[in-house]
Amino acid sequence: MAGRFEGKQALVLGVANKRSIAWAIARRLADEGAQVAFTYQGERIEKNVRDLAETVSSPLVTECDVRSDDDVARVFSEVAEAFGGGLDVLVHSVAFAAAEDLEGRFTDTPRDRFWLAVDISAYSLVACARAAEPLMEARGGGSIVTMTYLGGERAVPHYNVMGVAKATLDASVRYLAWDLGSKNIRVNAISAGPVRTLAARSIAGFTTMEELFEQRAPLHRQIDAEDCAAAGAYLLSEDARNVSGTTLYVDAGYHAMGM
């Protein structure tokens, strides 16, 4: 359905490379008419993000450290300047946990790295939603989508502290949906099955996870970033104008199974 985002302005956080779910969503938004701004984290991926952003004629590409309130404020100030003071769409696809905490026991997670994972993976949504609120209110409302995973609801071996961070993210979606709903701002999450992204490769046993997923999911097939992009476009569009505080599972039905 072409044109759902004509005249819309979007900010996408979390693109790392062309395999990123965030990039698949961004490209779908651009294909359907949106102007899309991007953030990146660190020099290592800056060129990747800038090269991809250029293909969709992005008006803004800027670095963002989501652990810094000052940096988040700067980014949204730049977004306001680039978009004339408004924002319609925010895509939050940001998560991090130390590699060593995705290999051993969750019990052994040290305090500092526990809070690191929660800060980057969950609180960053709260910080960004707060900064986006006045820009979306100026446009008469908006829509926010974040990326979660079933490991926030059930114990997934090796997902460890990231599962705890995703549980925090899931609860944050619901509370943000309530707080921002009066401003006509919707907040939802996509819970994706295993997708071969840069982040996924850091999870020990990811290949085994993929194999089990295909065996046990009702549809007996893998998903990809484009499946998430289609779901994201729906949630971010007016087609989902009465959908908020919801997690949409894009996992071939895996979440419905008991074992």
Catalytic residue among 149, 175, 249, 254: 149
Alpha helices in the chain (DSSP H): 21-31, 43-55, 69-82, 111-118, 124-138, 160-181, 206-216, 225-236
Torsions phi, psi for 246 (to 5 deg): -115, 145
The torsion region of residue 42 among left (phi > 0), alpha (psi -120 to 50) and beta comes to left
Asked if 121 contacts 165 with a C-beta cutoff of 8 angstroms, the reply is yes
Catalytic pick from 40, 123, 159, 249?
159
Torsion-angle region of residue 247: left (phi > 0), alpha (psi -120 to 50) or beta? Answer: beta
User: 15: phi > 0 → left, psi -120 to 50 → alpha, else beta; which?
Assistant: beta
Joined tokens for residue 238: 């007016």
Evaluate whether 41 touches 120 at the Cβ level (below 8 Å): no
Gyration radius of the chain over CA positions: 17
Q: What is the longest distance spanned by two Cα atoms in the chain?
A: 50
Using DSSP's 3-state secondary structure scheme, residue 1 falls into: coil
C-alpha distances (whole Å) from 17 to each of 97, 136, 143, 216, 236 are 19, 27, 24, 29, 22
Helix (H, G, I), strand (E, B) or coil at 90: strand
Q: Is 149 a catalytic residue?
A: yes
Q: Which residues are catalytic?
A: 149, 159
